[in-house]
Amino acid sequence: MNRAFLEFLSRHLLPLANPQFRKDPIVDRWVIVSTDRAQRPFSSHGDTAPAAKTDCPFCEGNERATPTEAFALRDRQSSPNQSGWQVRVVPNKFPALAALGDANLHNEGTYDSIDGVGAHEVIVECPQHEKSLARLSHQQVSKVVTTYRERLLALKEDRRLAYGMLFKNVGEAAGASIEHCHAQLIGLPMVPVMVRDELAGAAKFLDRHQRCIFCDLLSRELAAKHRIVCTTERFIAVTPFASRFSFETWVLPRTHQSHFEDLEPADIDEFASILKAVLMKLDAGLGRPAYNYFIHTAPLNVPPQESYHWHLEILPCFSRVAGFEWGTGCYINPVPPEQAAAFLRGTEI
Ligand SMILES: [Zn+2]
Ligand SMILES: [Zn+2]
Ligand SMILES: [Zn+2]
């Protein structure tokens, strides 16, 4: 990170009393302005410094370095905020949003803002200092997926929230500030624009064709086979036709389901195994690249949707998003998704 910027953050930045959502008055896009985030660890070097187990806040035994846990899968005889856990969920120490208060709307002429309230949790995915989800056991990845589901269900109880965004940043290039394997969950009082666009596109397709566009794409991809990375009985991993990034991969359930949190416990194991397999292929074939993944699911506060179909999108970071992409929203992808799928299919794990 730029040294002068770090100096600005530490010497000149005036903290806001509360975070804020601000709506761009031209396009339908919300921005979170939150000075608390400026306090989190920023690295000034190209790579994440290897944290020793002793000073990693996410390692078992260092529970006191994190806020009080919200949820944990742990040994029956162990106590909260002590060792003996397998997956642990804590509020983010540097949250983008305030946990308490109402999401009141404010208007100043053309400018709309909403109080920056919501949830921001960290899901610590293993007790030992491991960086890669792909290297965790299948049983452990199942526990991680179980926890994702549990926390989304918990967010549903918070009536202020409309959306739960579960995401993961792996590697410095993907925005990770701590290398210990973890994901994050942000509960928002509105549906983010990327999801709204997908919901709108899917609703339009249902209107015209009386079927879910994702189900339609799945059957086409299964028939054509050339963009399939791998499959299980109930899930499919595919490189999408219009992939924005090299080796972009989506994992979807084969049967229609709009909400990730409606995943049957019996399907969790199978989803964990395909997720682990895709990440292992990326790690093995492409030298453990930095990546982001996130779950696109229907909003928390709506019933099951006929038009929408949840999916997990994995976006590896091989190059930076640059001027053309920022200026146009149009991505230039150097690797045809058919070739990416063929390469990953052939990568032994
Ligand atoms: Zn650690
Ligand atoms: Zn569907
Ligand atoms: Zn999506």
Mean pLDDT, range 306-329, rounded to an integer:
95
Angle, CA 293 vertex, CA 291 and CA 295 arms, to 5°: 175
% of the chain exceeding 70 in pLDDT: 96
Best CA proximity match to 1, nearest among 214, 258, 177, 152: 177
- Which residues are part of the catalytic machinery? 182
Cα of 194 from ligand 3 centre, angstroms: 8
Instruction: Round to whole Å and give the CA distance between 41 and 174.
Output: 15
User: Bridge-partner residues for 90, per DSSP?
Assistant: 122
Residue-by-residue DSSP string for 77-101: T--TTSS-EEEEEEE-SS-SSBSSS
pLDDT in tens, 185-240: 999 999 999 999 999 999 999 999 999 999 999 999 999 999 999 999 999 999 99
Q: Could you tell me the pLDDT band of residue 42, with boundaries at 50, 70 and 90?
A: low
Q: For residue 323, which phi and psi values (nearest 5 degrees)?
A: -50, -45
Instruction: Round to whole Å and give the CA distance between 154 and 51.
Output: 31
Size of the chain in residues: 349
pLDDT of amino acid 39: 72
Residue 50 pLDDT > 60, yes or no? no
Ligand nearest to the CA of 315: 3
Cα of 165 from ligand 2 centre, angstroms: 20
Instruction: Round to whole Å and give the CA distance between 224 and 231.
Output: 14
Best CA proximity match to 228, nearest among 175, 96, 236, 310: 236
- Residue identified by tokens 């975070």 is 19
Cα of 60 from ligand 2 centre, angstroms: 40
Neighbours of ion ligand 3 (CB under 5 A): 296
Ligand nearest to the CA of 58: 1
Ligand nearest to the CA of 216: 2
Cα of 294 from ligand 3 centre, angstroms: 8
pLDDT of amino acid 168: 98
- Give the predicted TM-score (pTM) of the model: 0.94
